[in-house]
Amino acid sequence: MKRLRSKINGMRRSPRALGIVMFAGLLVVGTGYTAVSASVSPNREVVRTQEQIDLGKKIFLANCASCHGKNAEGSVNAPSLIGVGEASVDFQVSTGRMPGAASGPQLEVKPVQFTLEETAAMAAYIGSLADGPSIPDAAYLQANGNASSGGELFRINCAMCHNAAGAGGALTQGKYAPQLMGSSAKTIYEAMITGPQNMPVFNDANITPEQKNDIITYLTYLQNNSSVGGEELGSLGPVSEGLMAWLGLLGLLVIIAVWLAAKSN
């Protein structure tokens, strides 16, 4: 028994034992992460036809491959698109951000260059290369959720960049969070699940599809209803409000000074 115990202790101190323990730990963590990721329900059942994929590939090769590579593997000029999913392609192309016109701090919104059919075909092609976020189901884009809950979620997760009223805001190094007042429900949802540019990803494990619908409901309410407090002043908060108050007070002082000078004469 003593000899067996000594042998076991020797095995524990062996460099091989450390490697085995590390490998087992990585295996457990990787398996657990895969299980958790798989438990997150997809946004919709993806249906692609081979004809649609072939069309998307032709469009991709003609318009995108020069930067993203012939197999979407990426290059020094653009990232790989393998695994980004249909939602990412639909967001970038349907808002005109892609194809990119020029390098800069971030992609600008431009006139859309492709039809809905062409955009869907490119999304299908990229989606067929590897699993990724799919285009959201229409059920979560109805803006029929809880606006109060959506407002709370938005203020916690989004307002630090996009402003509490969705008016947008400046970031570092020339980047910015765009204002959301002209954004469609699908664009907002796809941005949350793909995390374009500087935005973090909010998958269904972070914010459920129902909660995303609540956020869309809140933003839709802001888009369709004027401010109950009167003039919004761009919804930029105390900075613009303080500026207007200062200019108003300065104007009042000028009027008083002119009136006093006129009276003394």
What are the boundaries of each domain within the chain?
2-30, 50-129, 138-228
Q: What is the pLDDT of residue 7?
A: 56
How many other β-carbons are positioned within 10 Å of the β-carbon of residue 55?
18
> What pLDDT band is residue 3 in, cutting at 50, 70 and 90?
low
C-beta separation of 131 from 85 below 8 A:
yes
Core vs surface per residue 82-104: b (16+ CB within 10 A) or e:
bebbbbbbbbbbbbbbbbbeeee
- Residues of the chain with pLDDT > 70: what percent? 77
Q: What is the pLDDT of residue 34?
A: 47
How many other β-carbons are positioned within 10 Å of the β-carbon of residue 124?
25
Classified as helix, coil or strand, 229 is coil
The DSSP letter of residue 99 is S
Residues near 136 by beta carbon (within 8 Å), at least 6 away in sequence: 43, 44, 87, 186, 189, 190, 193, 209, 212
Q: Which helix (H) or strand (E) holds 170?
A: strand 169-170
Res 163 pLDDT > 50: yes
C-beta separation of 59 from 114 below 8 A:
yes
Angle 105-204-99 (CA atoms, 0-180°, nearest 5)? 30
Task: List pLDDT tens digits, range 204-232.
Answer: 889 999 999 999 999 999 988 876 666 66
Look up the CATH superfamily of 138-228: Cytochrome c-like domain (1.10.760.10)
User: Mean per-residue pLDDT for 145-153?
Assistant: 95
213, two tokens? 């619908």
> What pLDDT band is residue 261 in, cutting at 50, 70 and 90?
confident
107, two tokens? 């992609």
Q: What is the pLDDT of residue 59?
A: 95
User: Mean per-residue pLDDT for 97-112?
Assistant: 83
Cα separation, 79 vs 65, in Å, equals 11
Q: Which of 111, 118, 71 is nearest to 90 (CA)?
A: 118
What's the predicted TM-score (pTM) here?
A: 0.73
Q: What is the pLDDT of residue 230?
A: 61
Res 166 pLDDT > 90: no
Q: Which helix (H) or strand (E) holds 176?
A: strand 176-177
Is domain 50-129 annotated with CATH 1.10.760.10? yes
- Residues of the chain with pLDDT > 90: what percent? 45
C-beta separation of 147 from 166 below 8 A:
no
Please give the mean pLDDT across all residues of the chain. Answer: 83
Count how many Cα atoms sit within 13 Å of the Cα of residue 53 in the half-sphere of its side chain. Answer: 11
How many other β-carbons are positioned within 10 Å of the β-carbon of residue 29?
10
Fold match, 50-129 / 138-228? yes
> Helices 50-63 & 116-129, crossing angle to 10 degrees?
100
Res 46 pLDDT > 70: no
